[in-house]
């Protein structure tokens, strides 16, 4: 994947999160509680993916509505409200 140097920290964070947090815990025994699994796969991952999308759009100079980021924000708010 070709990326601008400014995007490398976010790409690294995405890979590390997927490899170390999600993949290693997916096979762990005992299984993670559902609320903790949602935190890893929705809340934490959503923040990283949204940041990566913003950086990619900025790098490509695509400045139309950021519907994907808006959707992630709604999902994050919804998951925080469910956790409370």
Indicate if the pLDDT at residue 66 is higher than 70. no
* Count of residues in the chain: 84
What is the dihedral angle through the alpha carbons of 67, 70, 71, 75, rounded to the nearest 10 degrees?
A: 170
Q: Are 18 and 45 in contact (CB under 8 A)?
A: yes
**pLDDT one-digit tens code per residue, 7-37:** 999 999 999 999 988 998 888 888 889 999 9
Peptide bond preceding 30: is omega within 30 degrees of 0, i.e. cis?
yes
Task: Check: CB of residue 44 under 8 Å from CB of residue 21.
Answer: yes
In a 13 Å sphere around the CA of 6, the CA atoms on its Cβ side amount to: 10
Question: Is the pLDDT confidence value at 84 over 70?
Answer: no
| Predicted confidence (pLDDT) at residue 65 exceeds the cutoff of 80 | no
């Amino acid at each position: 994947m070709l990326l601008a140097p400014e995007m490398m920290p976010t790409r690294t964070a995405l890979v590390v999160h997927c490899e170390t947090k999600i993949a290693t815990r997916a096979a762990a025994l005992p299984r993670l509680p559902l609320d903790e699994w949602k935190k890893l796969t929705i809340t934490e991952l959503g923040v990283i993916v949204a940041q990566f999308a913003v950086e990619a759009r900025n790098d490509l100079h695509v400045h139309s509505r950021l519907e994907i980021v808006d959707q992630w924000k709604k999902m994050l708010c919804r998951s925080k409200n469910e956790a409370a």
